[in-house]
């Protein structure tokens, strides 16, 4: 069964450094998402992306964050000048359509640790 | 704004017991979908079930069943004859139309531990 893949599984970065988290969505999916889960807390929406542009972003997704689909398969989340509070599990998800009933399929996540 | 509340932080049962996970949601929209996701200890999020706001028929799928009641804004999830492999955090989530591009709003999750 096709799945969303995320790399790396664990990223350790010094505070202030830039980090890029990578995702390969399911191939026939058109809508892409990033979510964040701080340890022990709920999963929070960051951003949705469709047709090569951001369609919605949360208040968490400030100027420090950016997303890109650099080619036909990858979807990336860049965090500039990381902060300690950026430490979390970051999940990429994709869905075939943007319709509400279409389930979003998640990757295994990237655990980001900021030192 | 929408909100999902999972009042049960942790549940512990013995294998073969039935267990029900509670979920209460808030939304002003009449059109929405509800989901359950499972997060095993390995960390990934696994889609389990979805239900739309127009279909209150409750269903059973294998050992899983769900009880959707609009009158009480609840979407409870039951695992019958629980197994150790069911141990995970279970998240209830909501999508509604309210101007959003269908972002998922999650509850805080319920940690289910099934003991042998």
In chain A, residues with a C-beta closer than 8 Å to the C-beta of B5 are: none
The pLDDT value given to residue A36: 97
Q: What distance in Å separates the CA atoms of residue A37 and residue A113, rounded to the nearest whole number? A: 12
Confidence of residue B101 (pLDDT cuts 50, 70, 90): low
Task: Name the residue with tokens 């009480």.
Answer: B72
Of the candidates B72, B78, B105, the one whose C-alpha atom is nearest the C-alpha of residue B4 is B105
**Residue B4, pLDDT above cutoff 80:** yes
Q: Which residues of A56-90 are buried (b: 16+ CB within 10 A; e: fewer)?
A: bbbeebeeebebebeeeeebebebeebeeebbbbb
> Cβ–Cβ of B32/A100 closer than 8 Å?
yes
SS3 A23: strand
Q: pLDDT digit string (tens) for A27-47?
A: 889 899 999 999 888 899 999
pLDDT tens per residue across span B25-73: 999 888 888 999 999 998 889 989 888 888 777 777 789 999 999 999 9
Q: Whole-number mean pLDDT of chain B?
A: 90
pLDDT cut 70: percent of chain B above it: 95
Residue B100's pLDDT band (cuts 50, 70, 90): low
What is the reported pLDDT for B99?
57
- Chain A positions contacting chain B at CB under 8 Å are 31, 33, 35, 41-45, 48, 50, 55-56, 58, 89, 91, 93, 95, 98-109, 111
Q: What is the structure's pLDDT at B30?
A: 85
The B residues from 53 to 72 touching A (CB cutoff 8 Å) are: none
Q: Is A48–B101 a contact, with Cβ atoms under 8 angstroms apart?
A: yes
At residue B98, the pLDDT reads 60
Q: What is the pLDDT of residue B53?
A: 86
Residues of B (5-24) whose Cβ lies below 8 Å from A: none
């Amino acid at each position: 069964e096709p799945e969303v893949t995320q790399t790396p599984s664990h990223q350790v970065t010094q505070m202030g450094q830039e980090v890029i988290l990578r995702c390969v969505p399911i191939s026939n999916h058109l809508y892409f998402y990033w979510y964040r889960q701080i340890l022990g807390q709920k999963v929070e929406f960051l951003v949705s992306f469709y047709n090569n542009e951001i369609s919605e972003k949360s208040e968490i997704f400030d100027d420090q964050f950016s997303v890109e689909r650099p080619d036909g398969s990858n979807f990336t989340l860049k965090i500039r000048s990381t902060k300690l509070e950026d430490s979390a599990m970051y999940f990429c998800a994709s869905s075939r359509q943007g319709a509400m009933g279409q389930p979003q399929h998640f990757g295994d996540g990237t655990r980001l640790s900021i030192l | 704004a929408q909100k999902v509340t999972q009042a049960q932080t942790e549940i512990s049962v013995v294998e073969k017991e039935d267990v029900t996970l509670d979920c209460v949601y808030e939304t002003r929209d009449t059109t929405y979908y509800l989901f359950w996701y499972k997060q095993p200890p390995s960390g990934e999020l696994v889609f389990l079930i979805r239900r739309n706001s127009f279909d209150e028929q409750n269903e059973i799928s294998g050992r899983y069943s769900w009880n959707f009641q609009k009158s009480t804004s609840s979407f409870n999830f039951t695992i019958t004859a629980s197994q150790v492999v069911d141990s995970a955090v279970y998240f209830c989530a909501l999508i509604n139309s309210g101007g959003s591009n269908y972002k998922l709003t999650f509850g805080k999750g319920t940690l289910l531990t099934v003991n042998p």
